[in-house]
C-alpha cells in the first residue's frame, strides 16, 4: 500500500464586483451570466484532473479563492466541496477555506458557509475609510466589522483577516492604527500584504504618470517591523513572510504551497503543481478568460494555456525562495534529499558572513532568516540561491 500523499485543491472563482486599481489577479466584473456554466466546468475539470494525482493521494485542504467566491451562492460553493469528496479521497477533518469580501456576505451567508467550511478569510485591507477609497475597495470599515462579527457569530473560530500596508498616503501612524484595530478583533490569523504595483494595472499607469505617491522603501520597512512587534506582542506567531497566526491556526493549505506539496488548481487562470512528474515536477496554468476556459473543459480537454517541466535551477530557486519565506526556515534534510547536497555546506563562507550580519540563523535542521533578515527577504534569497546553484549535486528527486 502506498503511503498517503496529502494534496491541496484550489478552486478559483474569478468574479468580482469591481476591479481594484492594484489588482493583477485573474478577475472579471460583469460576468454573472457565466456563473452556472462556470460552476459546472469546475466539477468537470476536477474529473479531468483526478487521474493526474499520484498513487495514495488524499485531499487534506480545499481552498475556494478568487476573485470573490461569495458572489456565488453558498449552495454552489458547498456543492463544489461535495464534488471534490465525490471524485477524490478526502481526509476525515480537512481544512476548507472560503475567501469572502465585506459587502457580499451577511449573517445568513456565514451560517451557510459554516455548514461545510472550517475557515474563512475576510478581505478587510484597511479600517480607514479614506484609505479604502484610495485603493478602490467597494466596502467601508463598518461593513468589514459587520462581516467579521457575522463570521464569529456563525461559529467560525478560524478567521483570517487580510490587511494591506504601504498604501497611497499611508504613514506609520496610520498603519499602526490599522494593525491595532486588526489585532483587537481577536481573529486567529492575519495576512499582512505589502502593496506592490504590478504591471498593466491602473496603479502602474498612475505611478508612471506621477499620480501615485507611495511610502518609500524605508517607510515600508518600518511598517513591516511594526507588524512584527505588534503581532508578536499579541501572541500571533510570524510563520511566513506575510502571515501571522495564533497557535494551531496556521493556514494548512498555504503551507502546502510553501513546502512543495502537490496541488490541483482548478478554474480560469488557476495554477497547479505535481512534484512527482518528471525530474523536478511539472507546473501548469489554465486559460485566463472564463469563457475560453469553459469551452476547453466542455471539449473534454485539460484547459491549459501552458505548462513547464521544472529544471534543476528553477526548482532549486523555488525551494530556496519558499523555504526562506517561512520562519521555520529551509529544512536542510529534505533539501539535501532532493538536490543531493546540504545547503549550509554549499553556502561556504557566505553562510558565516550572513550570520555575522545578523541576517540568517543556522542550526542542525534548518537555515532561516532572522527578524532583520525578513526585512531583506528578496535580496537574501537571491544571494543564497545564486551561491547554491552551481550545477553540482544529484539530479534525483525524491518528493515523498
42 or 275, higher pLDDT: 42
Residue 55 falls inside a structural domain: yes
Total of domains in the chain = 2
| pLDDT tens per residue, range 287-314 | 999 999 999 999 999 999 999 999 999 9
Asked whether residue 361 falls in the same domain as residue 223, the answer is no
Region 32-55: mean pLDDT is 96
* Ramachandran angles phi, psi of 220, nearest 5°: -70, -35
Predicted local distance difference test score (pLDDT) of residue 2: 65
Asked whether residue 243 falls in the same domain as residue 378, the answer is no
Predicted local distance difference test score (pLDDT) of residue 279: 82
Residue 71 falls inside a structural domain: yes
Asked whether residue 49 falls in the same domain as residue 162, the answer is yes
Given a cut of 60, whether residue 198 has pLDDT beyond it is yes
Residue 271 falls inside a structural domain: no
Last residue of a domain, one of 212, 234, 256: 256
Residue 276 falls inside a structural domain: no
Residue 290 falls inside a structural domain: no
Residue 42 falls inside a structural domain: yes
Region 338-346: mean pLDDT is 93
Task: Share the mean pLDDT of the chain.
Answer: 94
Cell of 309: 517541466
Binned at pLDDT 50, 70 and 90, residue 1 comes out as low
> In the chain, pLDDT over 70 holds for what percent of residues?
97
Q: What is the CATH number of the domain that holds 338?
A: 1.10.10.920
Predicted local distance difference test score (pLDDT) of residue 398: 36
Binned at pLDDT 50, 70 and 90, residue 393 comes out as very low
Q: Identify the domain containing residue 375 by its residue range.
A: 312-388
Centroid of chain to Cα 154: 25
* Ramachandran angles phi, psi of 361, nearest 5°: -125, 145
CA distance 306 to 304: 5
Distances (CA, A) of 195 to 19, 41, 112, 123: 15, 33, 32, 14
Asked whether residue 217 falls in the same domain as residue 346, the answer is no
CA distance 90 to 59: 5
Binned at pLDDT 50, 70 and 90, residue 370 comes out as very high
Given a cut of 50, whether residue 8 has pLDDT beyond it is yes
> In the chain, pLDDT over 90 holds for what percent of residues?
92
CA distance 8 to 303: 19
Asked whether residue 324 falls in the same domain as residue 248, the answer is no
93 three-state secondary structure? strand
Predicted local distance difference test score (pLDDT) of residue 394: 37
Predicted local distance difference test score (pLDDT) of residue 274: 95
Residue 22 falls inside a structural domain: yes
* Ramachandran angles phi, psi of 57, nearest 5°: -65, 130
Asked whether residue 342 falls in the same domain as residue 212, the answer is no
Asked whether residue 317 falls in the same domain as residue 250, the answer is no
Q: What is the CATH number of the domain that holds 206?
A: 3.20.20.70
Amino acid at each position: 500500500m502506498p503511503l498517503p500523499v496529502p494534496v491541496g485543491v484550489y478552486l478559483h472563482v474569478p468574479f468580482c464586483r469591481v476591479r481594484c486599481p492594484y489588482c493583477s489577479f485573474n478577475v472579471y466584473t460583469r460576468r454573472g451570466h457565466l456563473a452556472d456554466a462556470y460552476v459546472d466546468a469546475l466539477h468537470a475539470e476536477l474529473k479531468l484532473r483526478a487521474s493526474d494525482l499520484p498513487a495514495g493521494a488524499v485531499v487534506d485542504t480545499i481552498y475556494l479563492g478568487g476573485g470573490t467566491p461569495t458572489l456565488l451562492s453558498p449552495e454552489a460553493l458547498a456543492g463544489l466541496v461535495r464534488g471534490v469528496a465525490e471524485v477524490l479521497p478526502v481526509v476525515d477533518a480537512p481544512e476548507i477555506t472560503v475567501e469572502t469580501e465585506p459587502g457580499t456576505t451577511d449573517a445568513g451567508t456565514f451560517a451557510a458557509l459554516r455548514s461545510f467550511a472550517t475557515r474563512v478569510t475576510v478581505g478587510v485591507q484597511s479600517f480607514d475609510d479614506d484609505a479604502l477609497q484610495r485603493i478602490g475597495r467597494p466596502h467601508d470599515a463598518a461593513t468589514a466589522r459587520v462581516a467579521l462579527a457575522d463570521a464569529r457569530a456563525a461559529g467560525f473560530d478560524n478567521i483570517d483577516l487580510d490587511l494591506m500596508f504601504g498604501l497611497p498616503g499611508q504613514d506609520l501612524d496610520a498603519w499602526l492604527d490599522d494593525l491595532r484595530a486588526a489585532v483587537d478583533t481577536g481573529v486567529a490569523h492575519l495576512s499582512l500584504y505589502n502593496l506592490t504595483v504590478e504591471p498593466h494595472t491602473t496603479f502602474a499607469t498612475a505611478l508612471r504618470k506621477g499620480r501615485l505617491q507611495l511610502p518609500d522603501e524605508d517607510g515600508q520597512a518600518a511598517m513591516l517591523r511594526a507588524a512584527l512587534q505588534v503581532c508578536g506582542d499579541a501572541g500571533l506567531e510570524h510563520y511566513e513572510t506575510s502571515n501571522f497566526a495564533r497557535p494551531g491556526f496556521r493556514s494548512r493549505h498555504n503551507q502546502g504551497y510553501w513546502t512543495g506539496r502537490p496541488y490541483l488548481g482548478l478554474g480560469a487562470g488557476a495554477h497547479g503543481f505535481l512534484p512527482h512528474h518528471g525530474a523536478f515536477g511539472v507546473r501548469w496554468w489554465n486559460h485566463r478568460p472564463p469563457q475560453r476556459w469553459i469551452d476547453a473543459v466542455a471539449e473534454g480537454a485539460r484547459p491549459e494555456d501552458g505548462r513547464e517541466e521544472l529544471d534543476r535551477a528553477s526548482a532549486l530557486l523555488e525551494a530556496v525562495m519558499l523555504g526562506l519565506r517561512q520562519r521555520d526556515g529551509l529544512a536542510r534534510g529534505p533539501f539535501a534529499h532532493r538536490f543531493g547536497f546540504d545547503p549550509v555546506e554549499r553556502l561556504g563562507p557566505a553562510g558565516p558572513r550572513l550570520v555575522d550580519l545578523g541576517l540568517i540563523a543556522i542550526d542542525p535542521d534548518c537555515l532561516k532568516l532572522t527578524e532583520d533578515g525578513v526585512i531583506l527577504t528578496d535580496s537574501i534569497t537571491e544571494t543564497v540561491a545564486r551561491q547554491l546553484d552551481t550545477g553540482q549535486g544529484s539530479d534525483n528527486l525524491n518528493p515523498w
